[in-house]
């Protein structure tokens, strides 16, 4: 993209700034260099909530928020503080709002009143850093259960990585779930250990008869302290950790982390490496969509699709092992490039594979697309309205099935999607069937795209050394994973080591969507609704 | 209906067609597993899988055990919904401290004699996450473990081999 086009793309920014001024909000400082490709605006803390309100009024999407404790020896002159950043998106352009509050009085008004989708991100920021969000609609803790006390914050530098409370961690028994009361209303607690082979989390249903009146999710069970573990790592070790944030999105998260580090260090990644990353990301998407399409059908008792899709997925994973060294392509994305290559023979093999897959999916998708008993169960089940999807900021297949067309690969194309364009499906029905249809369309699109990419696969190096990072250098990664937009913030500390890593999985916004789309459905339809969204527990619990 | 029959017939029974070496090995391990299960447990091995903090990739590979290629049920291995129905717990992930109590309770709910199989590098050693304010590390730091299946994640074949090992302990 040329410079002129880039400037034109940000044409809404002046409008936003003008509207901010109407609200007496003055951006202290704006720049396009600190976190490219995003613009950054520094705000006073008291302008934090009004800036969100203006943004919501203009229809900007809130793409997430995180807090960064600047409290080590080398912190700012004004003393230790918490820096908070919020990422907004419009028309494919990113804007990062930034403010700082003193550690001694870390008060900041909540943006969740304008953007309900960020409520849990704010609660997470509070539990990990001690940022106090005033006016937060939901003041309860989120990520913290009982592993550390209320007044201690793991991401502060005085908190030891090993923790301060040895011994057994008690169960989290006193979380205040919202109650629904009335004659005939009953509660169903589910989890954290679920009946299937899935991740742990707790669901609290309130139902009347079979109808769900309310669903409340309680996650955080697989909180592994990933943000704390990242501190002090070198870039290669961070990529390894990022690849294990949510194993089903290993390529996408590792890529997002590497992209953030590469942007922070102005690293020029070789085109061949970028193309191979794209190829692996699409392979990851296809594997997950195949697995999920089968599992969704299985949840309504249609085993045929499950058996067929699982078969195709297995073949696909075996090919990943043979050509990329790992069934899930873990550790194939490394800072500065990739750790694997494709020989000419492998490329031919892949092309053959893609051709076979294109043929193999059709009879299966044909049945899934049009089968009376499937239609009966999947259509009009679990409807997420366009308004809800927009308000929560859903991306990926959840957004695309509910009228939110945003796709990073098309709307903010990064290499290799800038050279080989990617198409994205869009539907408005918002039901389970629409999410399945979007996923099938994405499988077909990705297969076509990979073939086009292979035809123009650049030669050259596979990786370069990551240039040394300056202390304080920041980078923002944005990658379209199979679940949707992944954001990743990285700040370097001394000696080129990581001081802050925050990965924002798309699940942060689709988990709340599940709470909405299940309303009015029957309890037995919960598994299929849940699977059609398939939020990552590990990716959100961190 | 005809479309479904056509596709199913066209696909055929892929389970018994060993297309490469790996599948031949799978068959051998499977048959051996079946014999051991019969000798040890009578007929079947009921497994309750518990994710105690995994990144979810271990779960993906455990799922794969049920696909038509591995079809683990034919060897008498079944995944059950309740620990009370289980002979063995298959635990993945480092044990997050938020899952510590849930794992202990699941273990207590499993009737003796019971096996615990730690699947994946995290479950075996703590893996990439180790011990921290949020993680207890290896499963054996929380409940007794009989067998460890390393790998990040272990492949379905590794898992099958590990199950076989579990029955021999
Ligand atoms: S062993 Fe690897 S795949 Fe399994 S939970 Fe740990 S990081 Fe994930």
> Is residue A155 within 8 Å of residue A128, measured between CB atoms?
yes
Predicted local confidence at residue A2, as pLDDT: 40
Predicted local confidence at residue A3, as pLDDT: 42
> Is residue A445 within 8 Å of residue A423, measured between CB atoms?
yes
User: Residue A143 domain-assigned?
Assistant: no
Same domain, yes or no: A275 and A334: yes
Distance B70 CA to ligand 1 centre (A): 21
Distance B150 CA to ligand 1 centre (A): 9
**Cβ of A390 less than 6 Å from ligand 1:** no
Ligand 1 atom 6 nearest Cα? B122
Question: Roughly what angle, to the nearest 10 degrees, separates helices A526-533 and A271-299?
Answer: 170
Domain housing A257: 233-267+466-505
Q: Tell me the torsion sign for CA atoms B1, B5, B6, B11.
A: positive
Q: What is the pTM of this model?
A: 0.93
Same domain, yes or no: A194 and A283: no
Distance A115 CA to ligand 1 centre (A): 34
* pLDDT tens digits, one per residue of A328-386: 999 999 999 999 999 999 999 999 999 999 999 999 999 898 888 898 899 899 999 99
The residues pairing with A202 across neighbouring beta strands, listed in sequence order, are A218
| Cα separation, A407 vs A481, whole angstroms | 10
The residues pairing with A187 across neighbouring beta strands, listed in sequence order, are A206
CA separation, residue A19 to residues A99, A108, A121 (Å): 19, 21, 26
Mutate which: A147, A195, A219, A224, vs B, most B CBs within 10 A: A224
Same domain, yes or no: A263 and A276: no
Kindly state whether B101 is in contact with chain A, defined as any CB-CB distance less than 8 angstroms: yes
Same domain, yes or no: A26 and A126: yes
Same domain, yes or no: A323 and A412: yes
Predicted local confidence at residue A34, as pLDDT: 83
| ipTM at complex level | 0.91
The answer to whether A200 contacts B51, with C-beta atoms less than 8 Å apart, is: yes
Same domain, yes or no: A112 and A182: no
Give the contacts of A241 (CB within 8 A, at least 6 positions apart): A226, A229, A230, A233, A257, A501, B128
In angstroms, what separates the C-alpha of A64 from chain B's closest C-alpha? 22
Kindly state whether A228 is in contact with chain B, defined as any CB-CB distance less than 8 angstroms: yes
**Cβ of B149 less than 6 Å from ligand 1:** no
* pLDDT tens digits, one per residue of A282-332: 999 999 999 999 999 999 989 889 999 999 999 999 999 999 999 999 999
| Cα separation, A190 vs A212, whole angstroms | 14
Same domain, yes or no: A198 and A244: no
Report chain A's mean pLDDT, rounded to a whole number: 92
Place A239 in a pLDDT band, splitting at 50, 70 and 90.
very high
Q: What average pLDDT score do residues B97-106 get?
A: 96
Of B10, B128, B136, the CB nearest to A240: B128
What is the position in ligand 1's atom list of the atom closest to the CA of B120? 1
Which has the minimum average pLDDT: A247-256, A381-390, B40-49? B40-49
A220 versus B31: the higher-pLDDT residue is A220
Q: Which residue has the tokens 């709910």?
A: B109
| Cα separation, A219 vs A144, whole angstroms | 10
Ligand 1 atom 3 nearest Cα? B153
User: Residue A336 domain-assigned?
Assistant: yes
> Is residue A164 within 8 Å of residue A146, measured between CB atoms?
no
For the CA atoms of A372, A378, A383, A384, the dihedral, rounded to the nearest 10 degrees, stands at -130
Predicted local confidence at residue B24, as pLDDT: 64
Two tokens, residue B49 = 């899988």
The residues pairing with A65 across neighbouring beta strands, listed in sequence order, are A86
Predicted local confidence at residue B25, as pLDDT: 66
Same domain, yes or no: A406 and A279: yes
Ligand 1 atom 2 nearest Cα? B152
Q: What average pLDDT score do residues B57-70 get?
A: 93
Which has the minimum average pLDDT: A116-125, A267-276, A296-305? A296-305
Q: Which residue has the tokens 């123009």?
A: A456
**Cβ of B120 less than 6 Å from ligand 1:** yes
User: Residue A446 domain-assigned?
Assistant: yes
Looking up residue A425, the CATH number of its domain turns out to be: 1.10.645.10
Residue of A nearest to B133 (CA): A163
Strand order across the A61-70 sheet: A29-31, A39-42, A93-102, A81-90, A61-70
In eight-state DSSP terms, residue A68 is E
The answer to whether A367 contacts B7, with C-beta atoms less than 8 Å apart, is: yes
| Cα separation, A253 vs A257, whole angstroms | 6
Mutate which: A127, A233, A246, A247, vs B, most B CBs within 10 A: A247
Same domain, yes or no: A69 and A211: no
- A329 CB neighbours in chain B (<8 A) are none
Kindly state whether A445 is in contact with chain B, defined as any CB-CB distance less than 8 angstroms: no
Q: List A residues 132-151 in contact with B (Cβ-Cβ < 8 A).
A: 145-148
Same domain, yes or no: A483 and A515: no
Give the rounded percent of residues in chain B with a pLDDT score beyond 90. 53
Q: Tell me the torsion sign for CA atoms A327, A418, A464, A539.
A: negative
Domains annotated on chain B, with CATH:
43-167 (3.40.50.12280)
Split into its structural domains, chain A has a count of 4
For residue A515, pLDDT over 60 is answered with yes
Predicted local confidence at residue A218, as pLDDT: 95
Same domain, yes or no: A303 and A435: yes
Backbone angles phi and psi of B50, in degrees to 5 = -125, 120
Q: Which of B92, B94, B99, B135 to mutate to test the pocket of ligand 1 (most atoms within 8 A of CB)?
A: B92
Of A162, A172, A192, the CB nearest to B132: A162
Q: What average pLDDT score do residues A432-456 get?
A: 95
Q: Tell me the torsion sign for CA atoms A513, A144, B89, B113.
A: negative
Residue of B nearest to A221 (CA): B98
Predicted local confidence at residue A429, as pLDDT: 94
Distance B151 CA to ligand 1 centre (A): 8
Q: What average pLDDT score do residues A1-21 get?
A: 71
* Tally of residues, chain A: 542
User: Residue A149 domain-assigned?
Assistant: no
Ligand 1 atom 7 nearest Cα? A244
User: Residue A151 domain-assigned?
Assistant: no
Give the contacts of A79 (CB within 8 A, at least 6 positions apart): A102, A103, A104
User: Residue A361 domain-assigned?
Assistant: yes
Predicted local confidence at residue B20, as pLDDT: 44
Same domain, yes or no: A99 and A67: yes
For residue A476, pLDDT over 50 is answered with yes
> Is residue A540 within 8 Å of residue A200, measured between CB atoms?
no
User: Residue A157 domain-assigned?
Assistant: no
Kindly state whether A200 is in contact with chain B, defined as any CB-CB distance less than 8 angstroms: yes
Q: Which residue has the tokens 């692996």?
A: A280
The two beta strands, A81-90 and A61-70, are antiparallel
Looking up residue A93, the CATH number of its domain turns out to be: 3.30.460.80
Place B23 in a pLDDT band, splitting at 50, 70 and 90.
low
CA separation, residue A418 to residues A2, A158, A401, A412 (Å): 12, 44, 24, 8
| Cα separation, A199 vs B56, whole angstroms | 7
What is the position in ligand 1's atom list of the atom closest to the CA of B93? 5
Give the rounded percent of residues in chain A with a pLDDT score beyond 90. 82
**Cβ of B60 less than 6 Å from ligand 1:** no
User: Residue A139 domain-assigned?
Assistant: no
The answer to whether B133 contacts A169, with C-beta atoms less than 8 Å apart, is: no
| Cα separation, B132 vs A522, whole angstroms | 41
Ligand 1 atom 5 nearest Cα? B54
**CA-based nearest residue to A138, from A105, A178, A106, A181:** A178
Predicted local confidence at residue A195, as pLDDT: 86
């Amino acid at each position: 993209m040329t410079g002129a086009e880039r400037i034109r793309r940000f044409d809404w920014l002046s409008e936003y700034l003008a509207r901010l001024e109407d609200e007496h909000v003055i951006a202290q400082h704006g720049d396009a260099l600190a976190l490219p490709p995003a613009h950054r605006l520094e705000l006073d803390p008291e302008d934090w909530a009004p800036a969100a309100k203006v943004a919501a009024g203009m229809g900007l999407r809130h793409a997430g928020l995180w807090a960064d404790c600047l409290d080590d020896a080398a912190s700012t002159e004004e003393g230790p503080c918490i820096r908070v950043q919020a990422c907004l998106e419009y028309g494919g352009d990113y804007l990062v709002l930034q403010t700082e509050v003193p550690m001694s009085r870390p008060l900041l008004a909540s943006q969740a009143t304008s953007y309900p989708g960020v409520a849990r991100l704010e609660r997470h920021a509070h539990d990990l850093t001690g940022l106090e969000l005033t006016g937060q609609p939901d003041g309860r803790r989120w990520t913290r259960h009982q592993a550390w006390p209320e007044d201690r914050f793991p991401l502060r530098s005085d908190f030891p990585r090993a923790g301060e409370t040895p011994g057994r961690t008690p169960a989290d028994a006193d979380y205040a779930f919202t109650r629904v009361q009335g004659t005939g209303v009953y509660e169903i607690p589910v989890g954290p250990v679920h009946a299937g082979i899935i991740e742990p989390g707790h669901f609290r249903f309130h139902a009347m008869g079979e109808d769900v009146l309310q669903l409340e999710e309680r996650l955080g069970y697989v909180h592994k302290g990933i943000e704390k573990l990242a501190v002090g790592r070198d870039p290669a070790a961070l990529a390894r950790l990022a690849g294990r944030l949510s194993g089903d999105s290993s390529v996408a998260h590792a890529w997002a982390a590497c992209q953030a580090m590469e942007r922070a260090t102005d690293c020029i990644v070789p085109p061949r490496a970028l193309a191979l990353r794209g190829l692996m990301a699409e392979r990851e998407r296809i594997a997950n969509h195949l697995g999920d399409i089968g599992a969704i059908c299985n949840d309504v008792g249609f085993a045929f699709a499950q058996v067929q899709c699982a078969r195709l997925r297995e073949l696909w994973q075996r090919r990943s092992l043979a050509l990329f060294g790992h069934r899930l392509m873990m550790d194939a994305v490394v800072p500065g490039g990739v750790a694997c290559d494709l020989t000419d023979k492998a490329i031919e093999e892949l092309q053959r594979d893609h051709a076979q897959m294109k043929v193999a999916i059709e009879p299966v998708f044909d049945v899934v697309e049009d089968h009376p008993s499937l239609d009966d169960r999947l259509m009009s089940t679990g409807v997420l309205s366009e308004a809800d999807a927009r308000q929560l900021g859903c991306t990926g297949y959840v957004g695309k099935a509910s009228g939110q067309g945003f796709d990073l690969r098309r709307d903010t194309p990064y290499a290799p999607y800038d050279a080989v364009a990617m198409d994205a499906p869009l539907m408005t029905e918002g039901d389970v069937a629409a999410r399945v249809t979007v996923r099938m369309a994405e499988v077909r699109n990705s297969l076509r795209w990979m073939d086009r990419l292979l035809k123009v696969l650049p030669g050259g190096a596979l990786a370069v050394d990551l240039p040394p990072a300056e202390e304080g250098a920041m980078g923002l990664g944005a990658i379209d994973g199979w679940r949707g937009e992944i954001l990743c913030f990285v700040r370097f500390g001394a000696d080129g080591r990581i001081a802050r890593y925050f990965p924002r999985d798309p699940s942060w916004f689709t988990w709340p969507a599940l709470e909405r789309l299940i309303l009015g459905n029957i309890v037995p339809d919960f598994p299929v609704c849940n699977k059609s969204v398939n939020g990552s527990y590990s990716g959100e619990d961190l | 209906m005809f479309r479904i029959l056509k596709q199913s017939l066209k696909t055929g029974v892929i389970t018994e067609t060993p297309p490469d070496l790996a599948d031949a090995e799978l068959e051998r391990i499977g048959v051996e597993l079946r014999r051991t299960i019969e000798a040890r447990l009578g007929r079947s091995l009921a497994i309750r899988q518990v994710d105690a903090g995994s990144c979810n990739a271990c779960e993906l590979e455990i799922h794969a055990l049920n696909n038509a290629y591995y079809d683990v049920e034919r060897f008498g291995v079944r995944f059950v919904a309740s620990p009370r129905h289980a002979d063995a717990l298959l635990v993945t992930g480092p044990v997050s401290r938020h899952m510590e109590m849930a794992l202990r309770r699941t273990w207590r709910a499993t009737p003796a004699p019971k096996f615990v199989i730690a699947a994946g590098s995290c479950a075996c050693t703590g893996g990439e996450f180790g011990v921290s304010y949020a993680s207890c590390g290896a499963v054996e730091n929380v409940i007794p473990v009989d067998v460890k299946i390393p790998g990040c994640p272990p492949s379905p074949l590794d898992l099958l081999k590990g199950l076989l090992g579990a029955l021999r302990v």
